[in-house]
Amino acid sequence: MFPKDFLFGASMAGFQVEMGYASEDLDPNTDWFVWVREPENLMTGAVSGHLPEYGVGYWNNYPVLHQLAVDFGMNALRTNIEWSRIFPNPTFEVHVSVENQDGITRVVITHEDLEKLENLANKNAVEHYRKILKDMKDRGLKVILNLSHFTLPIWIHDPIAVHRGQQTEKTGWVNDQTIVEFSKFAAYVAWKFDDLVDIYSTMNEPNVVSQLGYIMSRSGFPPSYFSYEMYMKSLLNQVQAHARAYDCIKSLSKKPVGVIYSSSVYESVNQDREIEENATYLMNFLFLDAIVFGKVLFQERSDLKNRADFIGINYYTRTVIDRVSPINLGPFSLEWTILDGYGYNCPAGGMSRDSRPVSDFGWETYPEGLLKVLRSIYNRYKLPVMVSENGVADCRDWLRPYHLVGHLYATEKAIEEGTKVLGYLHWSIVDNYEWARGYHMRFGLAETDYHTKQFQPRPSMYIFREIVKNKSCERFCRYLKSPYDIWRI
């Protein structure tokens, strides 16, 4: 059984849902807005050619989406404040106190600093976000507010210049100054919105930002510039940015503050425990060890320690690996590679090499992995966890019912074993703009008609409502075995 206070809801991201209704909802001031219309990216197929301004239109039709959540039993929604909407222009001129001792160890934002930021902020955007969040609250929904979901203001990050190797100070998370500017943004958001927020997250999937931006440079994520130095620099700067944002929010709020992290379970075909542990540390634990234990690679930093009240876990599938000759990546080496036919590397809409159903995105259905990840992260950090994203790209809704039941069953089982799980947030409540893949991938419990901006609940959404109503997956446990044998432990 799920606890009475368990959070059942969905996650969204501003850039993926806000635009699409009218010219007034346009936000051209992010790196992603520029990136998805860059001619080179369009010509090479790095991006879909779809544009976010033809999307869900949440900026204007948010009441409809909020009521949809309520109608289907949800009691929480997660969204984010777009940094570029609040501060479309630089905030460099607001000088704040910064301590830098082998890293940015402290950023202090005073009330005077906040007043100066107020003078630079887009007041219309601030007021509109307050209306959106208040509408959530008025409908009885808990507000889980994230600060950064992939996008950066264009005055912080010029992805085209970085991609082309041009000289620029606008290098995003590679630039130490971004830590300071993000701290200002975090403090301002807490100052202006705290009365409407129940839970904060500083950022979504910082590991993905670094990995897809600087290592897997054919992913379509900005700036798609291969550099292991920039990969590590951007990741460690996001560690510091999270810690400093945590401090700034906590100076103004008593609400819980965490981070949302992309997690997978790393399994080898021949039970090679050494490479499984190495991959798990690099991909799942390195960032989290820093903000919980204050340990960053070979360094200990007390200013990073105990900077999380909970950990959000975004889980979609496993990663199957095999040993290879060491690949030197500067401060570390990889002795493993990701195998095709499993996890994220399967034929779209088919079956994996393990005879498991695969989504439209080519992602293997592996709900046991969520149970393993919840156990692993909770046992290591002893902090409450939340399933902050989990879902499947499935335009026909043929797989989603089984995928949904399997992963909610994994969550319920983790709770029964003693793992402190705060909630389950599905990705997503409606179809939306899937980054470099545009509108091709349909993740919604409800189908989005991008012409009329109307939402049609899919059959799986009714299953979600029944599970919420019963506080248990028991009624649907037969879905774990038939017609797909998706639960094998």
Q: Which amino acid is at 297?
A: L
What residues contact residue 158 under an 8 Å CB cut-off, 6+ apart? 31, 34, 168, 170, 171
Partners of 11 in the β-ladder: 78
In 10 A of CB 227, how many CB atoms? 18
- Say how far apart CA 302 and CA 290 lie, in whole Å: 9
Grouping H, G, I as helix, E, B as strand and the rest as coil, residue 269 is coil
279 to each of 153, 263, 322, how far by Cα in Å? 32, 11, 10
Q: Is 205 a catalytic residue?
A: yes
The residue annotated as part of the active site, out of 205, 267, 364, 434, is: 205
DSSP string, 359-390: -TTS-B--THHHHHHHHHHHHHH-S-EEEEE-
- Say how far apart CA 474 and CA 489 lie, in whole Å: 17
CB 153 within 8 A of CB 87: yes
Ramachandran area for residue 165 (φ above 0: left; ψ -120 to 50: alpha; else beta)? left
CB 265 within 8 A of CB 319: yes
Tokens standing for residue 193: 């919105």
Q: Find how far residue 369's CA is from the centre of its chain.
A: 18
The residue annotated as part of the active site, out of 368, 389, 412, 434, is: 389
Q: Is 389 a catalytic residue?
A: yes
Helices (H) and strands (E) in the chain, counts: 16, 17
CB 145 within 8 A of CB 76: no
CA dihedral 266, 205, 488, 323 (to 10 degrees): -10
Tokens standing for residue 182: 């993000």
Q: What residues are annotated to the active site?
A: 205, 389
